[in-house]
Amino acid sequence: MRTVAVFGIALGLAFALPQEPGKPAPKSQAPQDERKGVPARDPLEGVYRLRSRTVDGAVDLNRSRGYVAITHRHMLICLAGAGTDPDYPLLRAGVRTWQKRGGNVESVVTLGFYTDEEGEIHIDEPGALQVQRVDLVRGGLRIWQDGESYLDFERLE
């Protein structure tokens, strides 16, 4: 078993090295993603952690936690915050496909759910369209819920 592992590592290293000693590997002029046929990375793509929540223009002092991960095609969100009743936290999670349209982001629900103030679970309708303003701000992301309420996220990667 140990011999197989050592052979596998050696084989991997052999393929990683240039074929001709002393001759550097050719450098591509195109970004890595374009060579694979994938469009260039959008500035919104990344992983973010919830920093703060603003409701009706005032910072919400209740503790909330959450993450958003944005890939080329998908947006994944997981949020948890205090509700009015300590026994029923407010939860939201979901997966959506997304695209920029004008100054907004259009997303289509693939899977999603949220809880209300009484702890009832609601399932998002698959295929439902949502249009939101999303801004890049100070090393992070701001997702607007309405004209005076938004979530601020800090970029992790």
Give the architecture-level CATH label for domain 46-155.
Beta Barrel (2.40)
65-112 pLDDT tens trace: 999 999 999 999 999 998 888 899 999 999 999 999 988 999 999 999
Which helix H or strand E contains 2, and what residues bound it? helix 2-16
Counting Cβ atoms within 10 Å, is residue 69 exposed (0-12), middle (13-18) or buried (19+)? Answer: middle
Query: Taking a C-beta distance cutoff of 8 angstroms, is the pair 68, 75 a contact?
Result: yes
Retrieve residue 104's tokens.
């907004």
Q: Which residue in 54, 71, 60 sits closest to 110, CA to CA?
A: 71
36-57 pLDDT tens trace: 777 788 999 999 999 999 999 9
Query: Taking a C-beta distance cutoff of 8 angstroms, is the pair 55, 21 a contact?
Result: no
